[in-house]
Amino acid sequence: MFKIPFLDLPPLRGAAGTVRLPGSKSISNRVLLLAALSEGRTVVRDLLASDDTAVMLESLRTLGCAVWREGGDVVIDGLGGQLRAKEAKLFLGNAGTAMRPLTAALSLLAATQGGSFEVSGVPRMHERPIGDLVDALRGLGCEIDDLGNAGYPPLRLRGPSTLALDTPVRVRGDVSSQFLTALLLALPLVAERDIRIEVIGELISKPYIEITLALLARFGIQVRREGWAAFVIPAGSRYVSPGEVFVEGDASSASYFVGLGAIAATDVPIRIEGVGSESLQGDVRFIEAAAAMGAEVKAGPNWLEVKRGAWPLKGLTLDCNHIPDAAMTLTVMALYADGPTTLTNIASWRVKETDRIAAMATELRKLGATVDEGPDWIRVQPLQRWQAAVIHTYDDHRVAMCFSLAAFNGLVTTAAKPVRILEPHCVAKTFPDYFETLFGVVSVDVADVPVITIDGPTASGKGTLADETAKLLGFNVLDSGALYRVTGLAARRAGLDLDDGDAVAAIVPTLQLRFADGQVFLGQEDVSARLRAEATGLLASQVAVHPQVRRALHQLQLDFRRLPGLVADGRDMGTAIFPDAALKVFLTASAATRAERRYKQLISKGISANIEGLRADLEARDERDKNRSTSPLEPAQDAQLLDNSALTIEASVDQMLAWWQQRRPF
């Protein structure tokens, strides 16, 4: 996951390949609650690992449920409808799929068994309405206190109290279908007699109710229904664990890759594994909307394949009540269409993680788009003159994921623009590795992938600065010195004459090098510690003088230029390897400072060192690096000079970021 303040997406050009979706959020949290209410053990396979499922799992533990992981599975020993904890405070983040059903279940359990439970969330959760559900529960006889604004969390649910189950439970269905879902999931707890639920108003997001009914059936509860207006939970209903449940992939998450295929998969389709024609989730019908916009879609039982069909895409007018979450993706696809796209019947967007109609309209306009909006609709015009935009994500995973598709603007304009996504880690709500997954199936012009180079003499702090800068930007790192060090080490081990450039260069293609988690492997051997030894640094400096060796290592270094960007440190990064780097820094510090830093670094690693000897070695290395004929150590003409003798690491990083920001179009 990119845990960084912002992620810059360079212009993306194409897409092909296979993605495996994380588990569905809606199914995951329903299954967890049903498993917890059931008697017996449930093994949940392919559960979504995300913020919203984490708060549900934590709540179930707090309520006394035994929950543990076994490999990739989650195992739950259910409560069998019996509360173990009679008092608890549950923090539910921004997870509507946890807040609503837990409120219903705990209200009923408190009424019948006694207890006091507080449910709360992040500030946005306290702005998301729950009054209709609370009214329905109070109508039944549950005792619920508003702890903040009436009709919104936080709430206290307490009991015992007497439930009136002989009259129908009435709940509004036109604000959020989650209220009905919450009642359907929880009322079997008290179904000593038939319980009838009547929906007031036109029920929205019906497909989510289908998921609820299908999962209830898996757990032994057969709800009788009268269209979408009334539902009856039969007397004597009991949750029975099915033993094992598979969570299918998240169909709403699939929408980004369906959109991706429609926009950018010109030759080979994007294959999406985890959802398909047999999916329980209504959002799988997003493929119909994408097809109406021109995508070529094939579907198997649990897979989809999507390619570009019509191009530009076709604008459309669509009632999106059946695909409320996935439909957001259409608003960004609409930028690539031949005419306006109007989405209607989307009032529920206003009460989601953020006001999604307002959020999409505001952020699309930043790209340059013309957008109109109403209480329950949005209209987006196609875009020709794109602007580089900084996209606010409102702590809403879907806003972040949707706007990644704006990075394909280079397919419709010659002046391609990057897109900056603020707080990209908000995707953790449903798809923690979204951007990594995206990067795995998109193509770029390598020249569009931004590079920052840091060159300078030994122990000036290049590696440290490169690592820190890369961490903040989410970029990859190239420690080019490590390549020379490995070459020197391998040449020495092979017994080669280090002055024989041809011989040393000849072993480069045979090196079985692997970089993983900051470690360097040569074949199976972790050589990281060996590489950092000063003696290896001297070997590196000896082999680095040979033009043949430098040529042999050239392509290997270019290969590090991958999405979303690269920070490269060495001696000739800005001059020879990445002459087109957007920011070049030449880092220096006095010889005395550098010798002292290296000394401290070695001592802290338990390696004995002598400061005078170190200084002599580094000056000798400086001389060799500066005076060799090929790629000598010297600042690129367009490099920023940074003498950090008197600067802390933090101050150096701040300076880097300030220079970087000056070069960005945002």
Ligand X SMILES: Nc1ccn([C@@H]2O[C@H](COP(=O)(O)OP(=O)(O)O)[C@@H](O)[C@H]2O)c(=O)n1
Ligand Y SMILES: Nc1ncnc2c1ncn2[C@@H]1O[C@H](COP(=O)(O)OP(=O)(O)O)[C@@H](O)[C@H]1O
Residue 392 contacts residue 422 (beta carbons within 8 Å)? yes
Question: Helix axis angle, 206-218 relative to 25-37, nearest 10°?
Answer: 40
**Amino acid at site 527:** V
Count the neighbouring beta carbons within 10 Å of the beta carbon of residue 205: 21
Q: Which residue has the tokens 């580094």?
A: 618
Residue 296 structure tokens: 């070529």
CB of 497 to ligand X, least distance (A): 18
Count the neighbouring beta carbons within 10 Å of the beta carbon of residue 637: 9
What distances in angstroms separate CA 464 from CA 114, 216, 471, 561, 593, one per listed residue?
58, 54, 11, 19, 15
Residue 13 contacts residue 408 (beta carbons within 8 Å)? yes
* Residue 464 binding partner per list ligand Y, ligand X, none, with a CB distance cut-off of 5 to 8 Å that depends on partner kind: ligand Y
Closest to ligand Y by CB, 319 vs 623, is: 623
Q: Taking CB under 6 A as the rule, does residue 447 contact ligand Y? A: no
Q: Taking CB under 6 A as the rule, does residue 561 contact ligand X? A: no
* Near ligand Y in 89-108, by CB under 6 A: none
Q: Taking CB under 6 A as the rule, does residue 571 contact ligand Y? A: no
Closest to ligand X by CB, 51 vs 625, is: 625
- Can you tell me the distance from the alpha carbon of 82 to that of 40, in angstroms, rounded to the nearest whole number? 12
Residue 187 contacts residue 232 (beta carbons within 8 Å)? no
- Can you tell me the distance from the alpha carbon of 258 to that of 273, in angstroms, rounded to the nearest whole number? 11
Q: Which of 118, 373, 572, 617 binds ligand X (CB under 6 A)?
A: 572
Closest to ligand Y by CB, 438 vs 602, is: 602
Q: Which of 28, 181, 331, 458 binds ligand Y (CB under 6 A)?
A: 458
Query: Stretches 182-190, 206-214, 420-428, 458-466: which one binds ligand X (CB under 6 A)?
Result: 458-466
CB of 589 to ligand Y, least distance (A): 7
Q: Taking CB under 6 A as the rule, does residue 581 contact ligand X? A: no
Q: Which of 137, 570, 591, 602 binds ligand X (CB under 6 A)?
A: 570
Size of the site for ligand Y (CB under 6 A): 15
CB of 17 to ligand X, least distance (A): 32
What distances in angstroms separate CA 199 from CA 165, 179, 376, 417, one per listed residue?
16, 10, 21, 48
Sheet holding 17-20, edge to edge: 17-20, 270-273, 303-307, 296-300
Residue 399 contacts residue 354 (beta carbons within 8 Å)? yes
CB of 494 to ligand X, least distance (A): 18
What distances in angstroms separate CA 336 from CA 263, 293, 309, 325, 371, one per listed residue?
8, 10, 13, 20, 14
Q: Which of 123, 648, 658, 662 binds ligand Y (CB under 6 A)?
A: 648
Q: Taking CB under 6 A as the rule, does residue 120 contact ligand X? A: no
Closest to ligand Y by CB, 425 vs 597, is: 597
Write the binding mask 596 to 625 for ligand X: x where contact by CB under 6 A, - elsewhere. -------------------------x---x
467 has catalytic annotation: no
What distances in angstroms separate CA 487 from CA 455, 506, 513, 523, 550, one per listed residue?
20, 10, 10, 13, 10
Q: Which of 235, 214, 189, 234 is nearest to 79 (CA)?
A: 189
Q: Which of 446, 603, 616, 649 binds ligand Y (CB under 6 A)?
A: 649
Full DSSP string of 488-502: HHHHHHTT--TT-HH
Q: Taking CB under 6 A as the rule, does residue 574 contact ligand Y? A: no
Write the binding mask 598 to 637 for ligand Y: x where contact by CB under 6 A, - elsewhere. x--x------------------------------------
3-state secondary structure 58-82: HHHHHCCCEEEEECCEEEEECCCCC
CB of 517 to ligand Y, least distance (A): 18
* Residue 484 binding partner per list ligand X, ligand Y, none, with a CB distance cut-off of 5 to 8 Å that depends on partner kind: ligand X
**Phi then psi dihedrals of residue 172, to 5 deg:** -75, 140
Q: Which of 571, 584, 597, 615 binds ligand X (CB under 6 A)?
A: 571
CB of 537 to ligand Y, least distance (A): 8
Query: Stretches 182-190, 285-293, 348-356, 565-573: which one binds ligand X (CB under 6 A)?
Result: 565-573
CB of 62 to ligand Y, least distance (A): 42
CB of 625 to ligand X, least distance (A): 5
CB of 621 to ligand X, least distance (A): 5
Closest to ligand X by CB, 348 vs 458, is: 458
Q: Which of 196, 561, 597, 621 binds ligand Y (CB under 6 A)?
A: 597
- Can you tell me the distance from the alpha carbon of 139 to that of 136, in angstroms, rounded to the nearest whole number? 5
- Can you tell me the distance from the alpha carbon of 184 to that of 196, in angstroms, rounded to the nearest whole number? 10
Closest to ligand X by CB, 210 vs 623, is: 623
Q: Which residue has the tokens 């122990």?
A: 459
Rg for the chain, CA atoms, rounded: 30
Q: Taking CB under 6 A as the rule, does residue 252 contact ligand Y? A: no
Closest to ligand Y by CB, 363 vs 468, is: 468
Q: Taking CB under 6 A as the rule, does residue 481 contact ligand X? A: yes
Please tell me which residue in 51, 52, 132, 325 is annotated as part of the active site. Answer: 325
- The residues carrying an active-site annotation are 325
Task: Tell me which residues touch ligand X (CB under 6 A).
Answer: 458-459, 463, 480-481, 484-485, 537, 540-541, 544, 570-573, 621, 625
Task: Tell me which residues touch ligand Y (CB under 6 A).
Answer: 458-464, 597-598, 601, 644, 647-649, 652
